[in-house]
């Protein structure tokens, strides 16, 4: 957990330094403001949509099934020059229903997930697809436990976990998207859902 907190602090500090340097140089803009110095590729996404998008997922959250709702805010309209990309911060709430064997006994439980993830989006030119990596931390509440012969066995939970993975999104209409994602770390999640972009 200490290593995760140190890594998170380093990521936040690096992002703050990059934002400060970008703001002084005029290279980066936030979701609330688009710079006229950006190329057409850099600002094409910001010209079409506001900074917010929302996603609902259902899927496999090892070792169970779950649902998740996320809200994302676009921090940067452009990260790489002359590339239609953007950087967003995404957070929300998830519910996981799981059943696993602990100490030789089957234990069922429900856990709540609190994710905070950075999402880097790349729009593929002349297609309806958007792809990119995601990384950040998830806090998972306590799961199940059982005691066998005086020994207590506990499932994962009550900790902060680092996760990294990626997502792919397909635009169905101007505002509705089909999205799937795969995340790896202390536990794996594979989910599909829909997104709404403002």
Please give the model's pTM, rounded to 2 decimal places: 0.73
Contact 88, 132 (CB under 8 A): no
- Give the count of beta carbons closer than 10 Å to the beta carbon of residue 51: 18
Query: Tell me: the pLDDT tens digits for 93-109?
Result: 999 888 776 677 777 88
- Please, what are the domains in the chain? 2-197 (2.40.160.20)
Query: Tell me: the pLDDT tens digits for 3-23?
Result: 444 444 444 444 444 444 444
């Amino acid at each position: 957990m200490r290593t995760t907190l140190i890594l998170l602090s380093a990521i936040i500090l690096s992002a703050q330094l990059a934002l400060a340097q970008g703001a002084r140089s005029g290279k980066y803009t936030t979701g609330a403001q688009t710079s006229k110095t950006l190329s057409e590729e850099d600002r094409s996404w910001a010209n079409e949509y506001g900074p917010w998008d929302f996603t609902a997922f259902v899927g496999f959250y090892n070792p169970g099934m779950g649902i998740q709702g996320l809200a994302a805010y676009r921090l940067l309209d452009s990260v790489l020059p002359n590339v239609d990309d953007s950087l967003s911060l995404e957070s929300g709430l998830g519910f996981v229903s799981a059943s696993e064997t602990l100490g030789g006994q089957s234990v069922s439980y429900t856990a709540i997930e609190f994710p905070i993830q950075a999402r880097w989006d790349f729009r593929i030119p002349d297609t309806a697809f958007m792809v990119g990596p995601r990384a950040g931390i998830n806090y998972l509440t306590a799961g199940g436990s059982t005691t066998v012969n005086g020994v207590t066995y506990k499932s994962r939970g009550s900790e902060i976990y680092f996760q990294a993975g990626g997502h792919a999104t397909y635009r169905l209409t101007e505002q509705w998207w089909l999205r799937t994602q795969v995340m790896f770390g202390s536990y794996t999640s594979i989910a599909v859902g829909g997104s709404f972009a403002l």
